[in-house]
A and B are shown apart, each in its own frame.
Chain A
């Protein structure tokens, strides 16, 4: 059916270990419509289905049922490499977004070719180096002077900053962040989050950002979604979100889920 949404997700279901005693309903009838330029933060306790939802959108797993439409195109069963050109992704583990034994410029070159045919042209040339230099300068981490450095010599924060540039350099339609600062120290985490915010707002990229941190979920984005046991239990727009505090958010969570909030990390970030 025709719609004006960038991404429409209809009744998405996915269970793991099907037919065994360990069966998990990772996604249980998830539906959401995402408008262009939405910057959605997604919260929820462990096992709520946040990462599974992102993996489903990215095509890492295929759903058991339901549909995913990107700009009215049904991409539900597109293989991962086929939908890559529309998506940028930053993972929780800094190691996942970069190739360790390749250089910074080689990694950026691969990212720039996201979703495109790769041929016999040299991967890096003078013009590309200038582009990489300019993009990396925005980070103010000095990485632009180390284009030839191996990724393995970078710190986790530097790698994550680079992954951020790599994910956005080819202007994707949709960005997926999966707790991308949770393995970094607090100061680096703030730095990367601010960079994320600046880049997303400047490039106006539609974004889904999973976070464990309630404060971050409130501070960033224009829409907040809460998941619980494979379902979306809250979906707040900009106005409702701006009236929210962390304690109110936790209260809402308890009421919607009908149980006490037991996630340590989320509680700790309250203080």
Chain B
């Protein structure tokens, strides 16, 4: 029983912290139809900025805000490469991701920054409300934060500008014909997406107690896996529910992973398993077609 509840606690905690990353991936991959690989660089960028700032005595809230700002800039960088310099979508993301590896090292000054003995956004909050630190308060903190972001995103996506961004991913020719400069809508969406991804990186780094240069590897795949699981398990058509389903997907993904680890799966195999999961999910429509033809 204890094992089960601890698996659930870990899954909720990680699923919510990585949930912002998943929302970011949803915005680019699903809404904008832009497979944005910047994520693998902007996630550790968020961790690097927040951890370095806090490590040097900065306020953790301000550090987290700065991390989001860094993510926004990273997204704009990819956006400019694609919309102004006309570099293809995948390559723009890869170029940003590779550049960010060096930038993250520059920010941290080394491969790893520890936050074990510093304050964090969680510790500051718990201290303020006089709460004993632990898994449950972290989960509650993240859940409230998630609800806030979900409300903001739901509102934004139903504004005039939000419509234009969704239409850019849906039918670019049409929305351009209606007078929207789709270069700008792409830039805005990439900025918001990578801001969320960096937020996720900052929150994860402060939760796990360190920021590491390698913490971004495979994040795009984890994001995709979570989005796909969310859409399959919680099929929804309306806005707050779709986003909520995506967060659900992130939690279920963590549930699968931590269960697998409990059952003795070597942590080194995780990325491979995740990739296989995504391959299967992405190929299901085609496999179905093959069987229908037969």
Q: Interface residues, chain A, CB within 8 Å of chain B?
A: 58, 79-82, 84-85, 87, 89, 95-102, 106, 109-111, 113-116, 118-124, 150
Contacts and interface: CB of A to CB of B under 8 A. Distances in A.
Contact of B159 (A84, A89, A116, A120): A120
Given A81-B179, A85-B179, A119 B160 contact: yes
B174 interface: yes
Interface in B146-201: 155-156, 158-164, 166-167, 170-171, 173-182
Nearest to A100: B170
Nearest to A99: B170
A267 B143 CA distance: 67
B179 A82 contact: yes
Contact of B178 (A96, A102, A106, A115): A115
A24 B215 CA distance: 54
B166 A118 contact: no
A106 B179 contact: no
Contacts of B182: 81
A9 to B, nearest CB: 20
28 contacts: A58-B177, A79-B181, A80-B177, A81-B176, A81-B182, A82-B179, A84-B176, A98-B171, A98-B174, A99-B166, A99-B167, A100-B170, A100-B171, A101-B166, A102-B163, A109-B163, A110-B167, A110-B175, A111-B178, A118-B159, A118-B164, A118-B180, A119-B159, A121-B159, A122-B155, A123-B158, A123-B160, A123-B162
Nearest to B237: A150
A93 to B, nearest CB: 10
A203 to B, nearest CB: 18
A119 B161 contact: yes
Interface of B: 155-156, 158-164, 166-167, 170-171, 173-182, 237
Contacts of A80: 176-177
Q: Name the residue in A79, A99, A114, A150 with the highest tally of chain B Cβ atoms < 10 Å from its Cβ.
A: A99
A98 B156 CA distance: 21
A52 to B, nearest CB: 16
A58 B166 CA distance: 23
Given A82-B179, A89-B177, A110-B175, 15 more contacts: A84-B177, A84-B178, A101-B166, A110-B164, A110-B167, A110-B178, A113-B160, A113-B178, A115-B179, A118-B161, A119-B161, A121-B159, A122-B160, A123-B160, A123-B163
